[in-house]
C-alpha cells in the first residue's frame, strides 16, 4: 500500500515514539492519522495536541514527548541526559537564522585546563585567518566518490543503451551503425565533520572552523556540526561565501564555545534526530576531538559503535596525536579504537585537510 506523502511524517513519528519506549499500538497510529485528518490542522500545535491525546502520553513523560516532537517535526532540540547529570541535558540544535537566545555564563575561568561535564555558555569573536586555497583547488578531484544510480553515455561504457539503440534503428529503417553504451555516474561522498568546541580544544577551534568553511565551499556534499555540552548544526551558517560573515554567524549560533565536554551525550543526541543521523549513511565521518570525555564513557562508546555501522568510514582526529608516541589512555577513546577506521593527527587544519584528501586512497 502506498502511503500518502502528507501522512508519512505522522506515521514515522509513531515509530520514533516506539523507538524511545512509548507503548504506541497500531490502532493508536490509525486513530492519530484520522484525528489529524478531521482536525484539518492549521498549525503544528493541532498535531501536537492530537498526538499527545491519542497516544495517551503519561504526564511524567510529557517533556520527553515534547522534545521528540520538536526534533521530528522541526529538527530543533532533543535532550539526551548524561548519567549523574540529569538536570543538565545535551541538546541538538540547528541554526534558524536567528541569534541564539541562550543565557550567557560570564564566569572568568580558564576553560582549557581540563575536560568538564558542566555546561558553560558563551559566544566568542572569531579572528580572521588565511583560507586553505590548496584544499579548495584539490577537493573536487581528490575527495572520495561513489557510484550513483543514474547513468551517462560513454563510448567505453559497460552496458548497452537499448533505448537509444532502438531509437537509432527506427530512424535508420532498422540499421544500427553504432551501439551506444552507458556507465554509471559518480558523485562525491558526503563529508560529515564533527568539531569539538569544548575548553580543552579552545586553541584550535578558530582555524578548524575556517577549514570547515572552506570544506563547505569546495565539497559537493558536506555537513558540519559542533560538539561540547550541546550539538549544533552549523552547515547553514558556514554556507555564506564570505568567511567573516559565516564565522560571525557561527559565533552567535554556537553557545557552548570553550565550555564542558559531554561527547557521548552530544553524539547520542545527533543519532536521535533522524535528519541528522541520515547524513552519515554512506558518508565519510570525521570527529575532531581530544576525546576527553567527562560523562559516562559507555555512552560515548555505544554512540560511536552505532555511528561506525552507519557511515562508510569513521575517523577520529585528535591534536594529542601530533606526538608520535601518542597512545589513547582515556577509557572511552581506548575502547572505541576497534570501531574507528583511523585515529589520526588533528592538531591543525593542514593535517585535517591532508586526511580528507587521502580518504579515496585509504579504502
In terms of CATH, what superfamily is 85-134+189-362? von Willebrand factor, type A domain (3.40.50.410)
pLDDT at 308 over 70: yes
Q: How many Cα neighbours within 13 Å face the side chain of 45?
A: 0
Q: Helices (DSSP H) in the chain: which residue ranges? A: 8-19, 26-39, 44-54, 62-73, 133-142, 162-171, 202-218, 235-238, 243-253, 263-272, 274-278, 297-310, 331-335, 349-357, 359-362
What is the structure's pLDDT at 80? 42
Reported as a pLDDT band with limits 50, 70 and 90, residue 28 is confident
What pairing do the DSSP bridges indicate for beta strands 342-345 and 313-318? parallel
What is the largest distance, in Å, between two alpha-carbon atoms of the chain?
A: 85
Handedness of CA 194, 196, 201, 204 (dihedral sign): positive
Tens digits of residue pLDDT in 221-233: 999 999 988 899 9
Q: How would DSSP label each residue in 273-321?
A: SHHHHHTTTT-EEEEE------S-HHHHHHHHHHHHHHSSEEEEEEGGG
Residue ranges covered by each domain of the chain: 8-73, 85-134+189-362, 150-186
Mean of pLDDT over the chain = 79
Can you name the residues that pair with 89 across neighbouring β-strands?
A: 81
pLDDT at 281 over 80: yes
Higher pLDDT, residue 6 or 333: 333
What is the structure's pLDDT at 221? 92
Cα(166)–Cα(168) distance, rounded to whole angstroms?
Answer: 5
Q: Are 143 and 360 in contact (CB under 8 A)?
A: yes
Q: Which three cell numbers stand for residue 337?
A: 579504537
Higher pLDDT, residue 141 or 234: 234
Q: Which three cell numbers stand for residue 246?
A: 559565516
Higher pLDDT, residue 149 or 19: 19
pLDDT at 1 over 50: no
Q: Which three cell numbers stand for residue 256?
A: 557552548
Q: Which three cell numbers stand for residue 340?
A: 574507528
Global pTM value = 0.63
Instruction: Select from 200, 205, 229, 201 the least CA-distant residue to 119.
Output: 229
pLDDT at 154 over 60: yes
Q: How many Cα neighbours within 13 Å face the side chain of 314?
A: 18
Amino acid at each position: 500500500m502506498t502511503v500518502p506523502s502528507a501522512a508519512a511524517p505522522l506515521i514515522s513519528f509513531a515509530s520514533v515514539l516506539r523507538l524511545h519506549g512509548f507503548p504506541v499500538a497500531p490502532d493508536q497510529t490509525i486513530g492519530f492519522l484520522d484525528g489529524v485528518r478531521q482536525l484539518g490542522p492549521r498549525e503544528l500545535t493541532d498535531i501536537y495536541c492530537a498526538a499527545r491525546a491519542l497516544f495517551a502520553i503519561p504526564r511524567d513523560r510529557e517533556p520527553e514527548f515534547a522534545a521528540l516532537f520538536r526534533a521530528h517535526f522541526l529538527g530543533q532540540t532533543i535532550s539526551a541526559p548524561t548519567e549523574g547529570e540529569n538536570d543538565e541535558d545535551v541538546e541538538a540544535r540547528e541554526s534558524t537564522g536567528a541569534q541564539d537566545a541562550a543565557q550567557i555564563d560570564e564566569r572568568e575561568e580558564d576553560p582549557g585546563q581540563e575536560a568538564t561535564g558542566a555546561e558553560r555558555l558563551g559566544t566568542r569573536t572569531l579572528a580572521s585567518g588565511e583560507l586553505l586555497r590548496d584544499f579548495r583547488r584539490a577537493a573536487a578531484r581528490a575527495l572520495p566518490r561513489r557510484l550513483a544510480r543514474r547513468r551517462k553515455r560513454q563510448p567505453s561504457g559497460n552496458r548497452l543503451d537499448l533505448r537509444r539503440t532502438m531509437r537509432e534503428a527506427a530512424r535508420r529503417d532498422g540499421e544500427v551503425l553504432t551501439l551506444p553504451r552507458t556507465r554509471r555516474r559518480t558523485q562525491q561522498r558526503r563529508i560529515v565533520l564533527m568539531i569539538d568546541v569544548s575548553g580543552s580544544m579552545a586553541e584550535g577551534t578558530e582555524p578548524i572552523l575556517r577549514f570547515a568553511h572552506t570544506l563547505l565551499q569546495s565539497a559537493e556534499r558536506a555537513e558540519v556540526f559542533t560538539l561540547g555540552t550541546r550539538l549544533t548544526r552549523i552547515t547553514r551558517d558556514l554556507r555564506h561565501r564570505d568567511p567573516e560573515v559565516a564565522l560571525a554567524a557561527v559565533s552567535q549560533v554556537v553557545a557552548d564555545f570553550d565550555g564542558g565536554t559531554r561527547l557521548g551525550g552530544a553524539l547520542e543526541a545527533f543519532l536521535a534526530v533522524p535528519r541528522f543521523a541520515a547524513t552519515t549513511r554512506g558518508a565519510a565521518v570525521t570527529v575532531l576531538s581530544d576525546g576527553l570525555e567527562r560523562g559516562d564513557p559507555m555512552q560515548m562508546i555505544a554512540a560511536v559503535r552505532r555511528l561506525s555501522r552507519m557511515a562508510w568510514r569513521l575517523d577520529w582526529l585528535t591534536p594529542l596525536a601530533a606526538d608520535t608516541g601518542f597512545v589513547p589512555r582515556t577509557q572511552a577513546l581506548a575502547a572505541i579504537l576497534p570501531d574507528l577506521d583511523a585515529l589520526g593527527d588533528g592538531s591543525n587544519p593542514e593535517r585535517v585537510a591532508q586526511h580528507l584528501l587521502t580518504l579515496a586512497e585509504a579504502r
